[in-house]
A and B are shown apart, each in its own frame.
Chain A
Amino acid sequence: MTAPHLQAHQLVWHADNKAIIDQISFAQNKGETVGIVGPNGAGKTSLLKCLYGEHVAKSGEVLISGEKLVALSRKQLAQKVAVVGQHYDSVFNLTVIDIVKMGLIPHKSHFDLNTDADRAIIESALKKVNLLDKQFQYFNTLSGGEQQRCLIARAIVQRPEILIMDEPTNHLDVYYQHQILSLSKALGFTVLMTIHDLNLAAQYCDRILLMANGKQLAFDTPINVLQQPLLEQVFKLPCMIDIHPLTQKVRVSFGGVS
């Protein structure tokens, strides 16, 4: 049996002596897409930061392809895990190609120059995200969906095993939400993301990790996690579960605040 691609084991992380991440354990297989869902302040982003090494866990451990995260160098980690963060706002005018090129960094030593092979990788990444004609545009002038695609192109150039995305569908209209999620699945990476929209999670994720107050409430397939009593308890809203007529996936509908 091969080791899970990404595994967290009884992960705990504190901020100001308060447990923000409390005993999270899950294992994700190669090629699987996992969505982390839960209310605001559940600790979703903090969990991601523990998994890509930005936060150092207080106890527990993270394993990447069976290797301990803490034993990997920064560079080794960057060769295995790429991150598409939530929001970047550079005061300087970085172009799309400037950002996509950054994906080469984990594969280069100080004295390496960019080769034709590197340029080919960059071009093919830009093609995959359909930004080839916008490569010299300024990142700050792109739409939200284009910015996400630019960062995904950077991740493609980084050639990781695991792609971690924090709220990739935030601020995007319906079309772009589906575009980004289909794209991230089509790339063949093991994908872990936080996501607010439970129906998108049901449609695109193989498994869902439900969190509240830093604790793990469920980790299973969408149909097993998205259950009425559990969701009503977590989100404090009346809720109904049925099957989406177009996608045949679980559909969650919430009633308003009474």
Chain B
Amino acid sequence: MDTRLPFVPGILVLLGLVVMSLTLAMGFGAAELGFANIWQCMTNTCERSIYQTILLDVRLPRVLMGFLAGFALAAAGALMQNVTRNPLADPYLFGIVAGAALGATLSGLLPEQFQAFSLPFAAFLGALFAVFIVITVLMHNNWRRIEHLLLAGVAVSFLLSAISSFILYFGEAFAANRVIFWMMGSLARADYQSLSYVAPVVLISCVLALVFSRQLDALLLSDESARTLGVNVDKVRLVALVVCAAMTAVVVSYCGGIAFVGLMIPHIVRPFFGITTAKLLLSAGLIGGCFLVWVDVVARTIVTGQEIPIGVITSVIGSVFFLFLMRRM
């Protein structure tokens, strides 16, 4: 059965959905702001200056970060699944989260005089370290085998997680809590400064992936088939992996471990937008962005006066979705 939508109208509908989600999501939170207030603030001046502070300084960066993080994770997941021809692949497979967690752990628990970096920066370095190990191992080994890539990622994940757990176990309890909360994922850290780091990385990564989209499509049939079409398979796959790693690492550093978005969203999108890289990447990104914006709304409103870690919610939704998917496959 062909369920595919025409691409351009489909994307336009998604863009409409994005604008609507971003606007409406700003209305939710501890202080109830009606849509009328938001509209007034956007078009004119705010009724009360506190509204302006809440909307522009707190909620706008937060929904934007939610959208960007969701976009990046879903796009990276789509790319990762295509490039490994494995529908269960996930940007986290690289050990990116485990690496980021190790970075966060070290930055959070080391004595103060060694704390040269902020937590996000340390997490980013940790994520890059994990990717570096995976790619180095593969370069020495037979880098052409996709299964090796996935297995190396899993092994590095476990190793780095073990080191983090060891450090946390002996670490000071309060600092350990801080790291553990970070791992559960949250958009509370979002501000314009963090957006200014995340947005360019996501943008450049997506543009790079789109520039290579034809070559990436060629990989979908088989490596050999792609080579007969003149594609340098190893180079294209390395570009895609680096792009995935960069997007995921920067998001994880600021937002912590938000699981299952990258795995789940491409599966939802594929029947409607197909599997070719450019279409899948854009549509999965837009839907992933909306998804995370609304998950964050749930995270900050479901329990009055308290925030649920966003990663907990995506994990619940994602794992249930995953089990349904397994039944269908």
Interface flag for A90 (CB, 8 Å): yes
Q: Which residues of A contact B148 (CB under 8 A)?
A: none
B227 touches A53 (CB 8 A): yes
Q: Which residues of B contact A85 (CB under 8 A)?
A: 222, 224-225, 228
A102 touches B275 (CB 8 A): no
Interface flag for A108 (CB, 8 Å): yes
Q: Which residues of B contact A88 (CB under 8 A)?
A: 221-222, 225
B225 touches A98 (CB 8 A): no
Q: Which residues of A contact B85 (CB under 8 A)?
A: 90-92
Query: What are the interface flags for B201-236 relative to A under an 8 Å C-beta threshold, 1 for contact and 0 otherwise?
Result: 000000000011011011011101101111110000
From 80 to 120 in chain B, residues with beta carbon under 8 angstroms from any chain A beta carbon are 82, 85-87
Question: Knowing A98-B274, A105-B214, A110-B212 touch, does A92 contact B220 (C-beta < 8 A)?
Answer: yes
Return B214 CB to nearest CB of chain A, in Å.
5
Interface flag for A54 (CB, 8 Å): yes
Q: Which residues of B contact A75 (CB under 8 A)?
A: 230
A54 touches B2 (CB 8 A): no
Q: Which residues of A contact B211 (CB under 8 A)?
A: 110-111
B87 touches A74 (CB 8 A): no
From 217 to 271 in chain B, residues with beta carbon under 8 angstroms from any chain A beta carbon are 217-218, 220-222, 224-225, 227-232, 270
B222 touches A74 (CB 8 A): no
- Closest chain B residue to A77, Cβ basis: B230
Interface flag for B319 (CB, 8 Å): no
Return A148 CB to nearest CB of chain B, in Å.
14
**Binding site secondary structure of chain A:** mixed
Return B7 CB to nearest CB of chain A, in Å.
12
B276 touches A83 (CB 8 A): no
Q: Which residues of B contact A136 (CB under 8 A)?
A: 2, 4
Q: How large is the interface on A (under 10, 10 to 19, 20 to 34, 35 or more residues)?
A: 35 or more
A93 touches B270 (CB 8 A): yes
A74 touches B225 (CB 8 A): no
The interface centre, meaning the residue of A74, A90, A102 with most chain B CB atoms within 10 A of its CB, is: A102
B228 touches A83 (CB 8 A): yes
Question: Knowing A85-B222, A91-B85, A91-B87 touch, does A106 contact B276 (C-beta < 8 A)?
Answer: no
From 49 to 103 in chain A, residues with beta carbon under 8 angstroms from any chain B beta carbon are 52-54, 73-79, 81-83, 85, 88, 90-95, 98-99, 101-103
- Closest chain A residue to B224, Cβ basis: A54
A54 touches B274 (CB 8 A): no
Interface flag for A194 (CB, 8 Å): no
Interface flag for A158 (CB, 8 Å): yes
- Closest chain A residue to B211, Cβ basis: A110
Return B328 CB to nearest CB of chain A, in Å.
13
CA A108 to CA B231, docked complex, whole Å: 11
Task: Give which listed residue, A54, A99, A101, contacts B228 with CB less than 8 A.
Answer: A54
Return B88 CB to nearest CB of chain A, in Å.
10
Q: Which residues of B contact A98 (CB under 8 A)?
A: 217, 220, 274-276
Q: Which residues of A contact B86 (CB under 8 A)?
A: 91
- Closest chain A residue to B228, Cβ basis: A83
B232 touches A74 (CB 8 A): yes
CA A91 to CA B270, docked complex, whole Å: 12
Interface flag for A104 (CB, 8 Å): yes
- Closest chain B residue to A114, Cβ basis: B214
Q: Which residues of B contact A90 (CB under 8 A)?
A: 85, 220-222
Task: Give which listed residue, A77, A99, A110, contacts B221 with CB less than 8 A.
Answer: A99
CA A88 to CA B220, docked complex, whole Å: 10
Task: Give which listed residue, B2, B212, B229, contacts A102 with CB less than 8 A.
Answer: B229
Task: Give which listed residue, B87, B214, B227, contacts A92 with CB less than 8 A.
Answer: B87
- Closest chain A residue to B266, Cβ basis: A92
Query: What are the interface flags for A136-165 relative to B under an 8 Å C-beta threshold, 1 for contact and 0 otherwise?
Result: 110000000000000000000010000000
- Closest chain A residue to B230, Cβ basis: A78
CA A110 to CA B274, docked complex, whole Å: 21
Question: Knowing A92-B87, A95-B274 touch, does A106 contact B230 (C-beta < 8 A)?
Answer: yes
B214 touches A104 (CB 8 A): yes
Question: Knowing A92-B85, A92-B275, A110-B212 touch, does A102 contact B218 (C-beta < 8 A)?
Answer: yes
B residues near A (Cβ < 8 Å) are: 2, 4, 82, 85-87, 211-212, 214-215, 217-218, 220-222, 224-225, 227-232, 270, 274-276
A residues near B (Cβ < 8 Å) are: 52-54, 73-79, 81-83, 85, 88, 90-95, 98-99, 101-106, 108, 110-111, 136-137, 158
If A78-B229, A98-B217, A98-B275 are given as contacts, then 14 extra A-B residue pairs at C-beta distance below 8 Å, sorted by A number, are A54-B224, A74-B231, A74-B232, A78-B230, A83-B225, A85-B222, A88-B221, A94-B275, A101-B276, A103-B229, A105-B229, A110-B214, A111-B211, A136-B4
What are 20 A-B pairs at a CB distance below 8 A? A73-B230, A74-B230, A74-B231, A78-B230, A79-B230, A81-B228, A85-B222, A85-B224, A85-B225, A90-B85, A90-B222, A92-B85, A92-B220, A95-B274, A101-B276, A102-B218, A102-B229, A103-B229, A108-B214, A158-B229
